């Protein structure tokens, strides 16, 4: 059984709980393509069987979120589950100021992940160190923000839309926006509505019977090469194949039955991952 599920995770539920639920239902290997914090809701892509081999591909897709930023409050987790470390009763902000500041976060930016995050520091998850009272200095990472827009401003809450690339923490994005404006901000609610071309409107609710989608719907987001069975044999055996005129990058390579993630570099095609053999 190979494919993937689209599930709408409710607030207050661990992503691992959703995966474990469908693992028991389907009785096969499952994996995620990017989790959500417990307080957040929205789209989870759950990979089934050989679909787990596509985790990095799905995680690399752009993601769209709708959320609420609350100005004047800063918590140690950058979200409503944390301890409040500063609070301002009526932050003096207007929408024009906020929009000007938001524009500065669009593009490739450097971002420091939250202290309470799954980022590993010296081999241990940052949130585990934080719970022990061990504060570590984390290096900024380059992330991409494609869009950061206001939906509605009802002080002190800003309803916003964000479209981001891999590894971008919306919690840090809102925290840093608050710091730039000089009033502090916390991500108060978050909902993921899209991953790549997959929408939460097509997702099932937790507990609903699973709807299994074909892996081809993920693989076909890549340029495709149709190859003979002999060439596929060579690729699976680890050999390189010359493909003149193809742009460097990832490809979906198939003979109609077997499916491979291929990488082209300097007119040579190599296997990056055998998906279905």
Catalytic residue among 37, 92, 208, 267: 37
CA 70, 73, 77, 82: dihedral to nearest 10 degrees?
-100
- Verify whether residue 267 is a known catalytic residue: no
Catalytic residues: 37
């Amino acid at each position: 059984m190979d494919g993937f599920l689209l599930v709408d995770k409710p607030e207050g539920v661990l992503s691992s709980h959703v995966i474990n639920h469908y693992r028991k239902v389907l009785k096969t290997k499952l994996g995620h393509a990017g989790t959500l914090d417990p307080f957040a809701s929205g789209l989870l892509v759950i990979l089934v069987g050989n679909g787990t081999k596509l985790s990095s591909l799905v995680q690399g897709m752009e993601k769209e979120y709708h959320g609420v930023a609350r100005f004047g409050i800063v918590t140690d987790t950058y979200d409503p589950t944390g301890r409040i470390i500063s609070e301002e009763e009526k932050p003096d902000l207007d929408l024009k100021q906020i929009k000007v500041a938001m524009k500065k976060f669009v593009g490739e930016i450097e971002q420091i992940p939250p202290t309470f995050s799954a980022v590993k520091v010296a081999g241990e998850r940052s949130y585990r160190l934080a719970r022990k009272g061990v504060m570590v200095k984390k290096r900024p990472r380059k992330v991409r923000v494609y869009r950061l827009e206001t939906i509605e401003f009802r002080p002190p809450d800003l309803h916003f839309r964000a479209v981001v690339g891999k590894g971008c923490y919306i919690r840090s994005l809102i925290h840093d926006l608050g710091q730039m404006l000089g009033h502090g901000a916390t991500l108060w609610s978050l909902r993921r509505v899209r991953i790549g071309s997959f929408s939460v409107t097509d997702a099932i609710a937790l507990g609903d019977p699973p709807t299994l989608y074909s892996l081809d719907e993920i693989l076909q987001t890549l340029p495709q090469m149709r190859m003979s069975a002999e060439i596929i044999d060579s690729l699976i055996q680890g050999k390189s194949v010359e493909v003149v005129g193809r742009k460097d990058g990832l490809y979906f390579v198939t003979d109609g039955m077997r499916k491979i993630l291929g990488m082209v570099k300097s007119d040579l095609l190599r296997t990056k991952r055998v998906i279905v053999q």
